[in-house]
Amino acid sequence: MSRQSASHAIGTDERIINATSGWMMLTLLLSALLASGLWTAMPGGPVKMAVSGLSLMLTLFLFKGLFTLEPNQAAVMVFFGKYAGTANQSGFFWVNPLFQRTKVSLRINNWNTPVLKVNDERGSPIEIAAVIAWRVQNTARAVFDVESAMHYLQIQSESAVRQVASSHAYDDAEGGYCKSLRTDLEAIAELLRESIQQHVEVAGIIIEEAKIAHLAYAPEIANAMLRRQQAEAVVMARQKLVDGAVGMVEVALKNLEDKEIVSLTPDQRAVLVTNMMTVLLSESGAQPVIQMAQTKQ
């Protein structure tokens, strides 16, 4: 019934049992109860009264084996401390009344981790939280291998979130070769789901989905990081402006030369380029004086 799992912990194998139809047993037990009641009411000796009384008590005890299961719900059966099996079909059933039944929900649950303060791959303190969709897949492990499946998930999911956050940078890494927490959301979500799944495998839990619900720099460095992001945005914008201005100047000089509109000396070309770059890149209304050579006769 037990085997060595991949996480080097003893894992209890789930065994599905088919419970007897509750409606059929209810009919039989009601008939037996009626017969026992009539037999008890009939006159007789002490032996007959004792047997009829025991028969009536046994019939009433057998009613304890009746139970119902809703959709996506299971019942784990224990017989005098030994795992007897799991019933996971919805409906009305009957099992051995000596079985101790523990109902386990198989429905999908959500868990929001608290906001955790972690150092990312670059050592910057960040705040991160995740939302996790999970459900019980192995009822035997969820009941017997951990004290509380929900509590186990809460602790292990926080550990997994810390592990993923500390191994990735908050923002784009230099060169863009590594996944970042802010930009590569789908890839990070899949890594987070796999990491949490490895942590909670022993509890019979399957992680359906895990996503980052909160991500921010820690308050003590938030302003500095905001200024850095603004500076990076300004540099990128300036780079695009310079690239565009250089292209426009190059086209302008080429057109002037191809159409033989003017003849420029190297010094005049330098002055023209300087003035055009000033006009194109200036944030204020620059008004340079552009000197042109005389046109050819």
Between CA 218 and CA 105 the distance in angstroms is: 38
SS (H, E, C) 101-125: EEEEECCCEEEECCCEEEECCCCCE
pLDDT of residue 297: 43
Could you tell me how far CA 44 lies from the centroid of its own chain? 70
For the entire predicted model, the pTM comes to 0.68
The string of pLDDT tens digits covering residues 198-238 is 999 999 999 999 999 999 888 776 566 666 666 666 677 77
Same structural domain for residues 114 and 147?
Answer: yes
pLDDT confidence of 285, banded at 50, 70, 90? low
Same structural domain for residues 88 and 66?
Answer: yes
pLDDT of residue 12: 85
Look at residue 296 and tell me if it is in a domain: no
- Domain with 213 in it: what CATH number? 3.30.479.30
The total number of structural domains in the chain stands at 3
pLDDT of residue 90: 92
pLDDT of residue 149: 93
Between CA 148 and CA 221 the distance in angstroms is: 38
Q: Is 262 helix (H, G, I), strand (E, B) or coil?
A: coil
Out of 191, 217, 243, pick the residue that ends a domain: 217
Residue 114's Cβ-side half-sphere holds a number of Cα atoms within 13 Å equal to 7
pLDDT confidence of 53, banded at 50, 70, 90? confident
Look at residue 295 and tell me if it is in a domain: no
Same structural domain for residues 72 and 14?
Answer: yes
The string of pLDDT tens digits covering residues 126-136 is 999 999 999 99
Between CA 68 and CA 292 the distance in angstroms is: 96
Look at residue 292 and tell me if it is in a domain: no
Look at residue 294 and tell me if it is in a domain: no
User: Cβ of 90: how many Cβ atoms within 10 Å?
Assistant: 13
Q: Residue 52: pLDDT above 70?
A: yes
pLDDT of residue 256: 73
Per-residue DSSP letter, 180: B
Q: What is the DSSP string of 123-182?
A: S-EEEEEEEEEEEES-HHHHHHTSS-HHHHHHHHHHHHHHHHHHTSBSSPPGGG-S-BTT
The string of pLDDT tens digits covering residues 159-170 is 999 999 999 888
Contact 55, 42 (CB under 8 A): no
Between CA 255 and CA 242 the distance in angstroms is: 20
Look at residue 287 and tell me if it is in a domain: no
pLDDT of residue 270: 76
Q: Which range marks the domain in which residue 252 is found? A: 222-281
Same structural domain for residues 152 and 234?
Answer: no
Tokens 């784009």 sit on residue: 172
Residues in CB range of 14: below 8 A, 6 or more apart: 86, 138, 139, 140, 141, 204
The string of pLDDT tens digits covering residues 86-125 is 999 999 999 999 999 999 999 999 999 999 999 888 888 8
Q: In this structure, what token pair is assigned to residue 58? A: 């046994």
Out of 217, 247, 267, pick the residue that ends a domain: 217
Look at residue 91 and tell me if it is in a domain: yes
**Helices 46-62 + 22-41 axis angle, to 10:** 160
Between CA 228 and CA 34 the distance in angstroms is: 84
Same structural domain for residues 66 and 135?
Answer: no
The string of pLDDT tens digits covering residues 168-190 is 888 775 445 567 888 888 999 99
Same structural domain for residues 34 and 98?
Answer: yes
Look at residue 47 and tell me if it is in a domain: yes
Between CA 85 and CA 18 the distance in angstroms is: 9
Between CA 87 and CA 73 the distance in angstroms is: 9
